[in-house]
Amino acid sequence: GGFAKPKDLRPLCDIELTDIRGTIDMNLYGSIYNAYYTIGYMLKTVQNSSDKNESCSIINMSSIAGSFGLATAGDYCISKSGVDGLTRAICADYGASGIRCNSVKPCFVTTPLTTAMDDALEEKTGQRGCREMSKPRQVHAEWVNPTDVAYYCLFLASDESKFINGSMCYIDDGTKGSYNHLPSMVNDQ
């Protein structure tokens, strides 16, 4: 998730270092703390199971922005790239011990925050917002719904996904192909 406000859309070097740290603390360190404090319990669960195929699943919330830069959201992109690195590290360190770890990488999810950010982006740049710009590349004429993300996570937590480990799992309706066409506010300050 994110916690920026529409007014926070700024190029990386215009963001206060304390704000960058806050984004990294929330998005990356939140995931690190989750893994750090749960992996020990997961290892015990797997080791104490009578089922030789027992596994546990960590699902990290990343973002499409962790793989593709997004103008005016550098702090968010940095934090989500870190989440993806954490996912790969957990897979490498604990996969053989029965712990799976994947990153879910949604694009724009319909929430009050993302709607306000998109409206602010369009107002500030005079260009169509991200919602409108991504439509031509999407199958559906809407953003991802939070319920869609929840169902994807439920799948990753289940035994149905037992061979999915260390993956960057996009839920973007084709949007990642349009990321380099998103409006930039760098020159509109």
Give the residue numbers annotated as catalytic, written as ranges: 76
Angle at 187 between CA 182 and CA 189, to 5 degrees: 110
Residues in the chain: 189
CA–CA distance, 73 with 23 (Å, rounded to integer): 10
DSSP E strand stretches across the chain: 56-61, 99-106, 168-171
DSSP string, 71-89: TT-HHHHHHHHHHHHHHHH
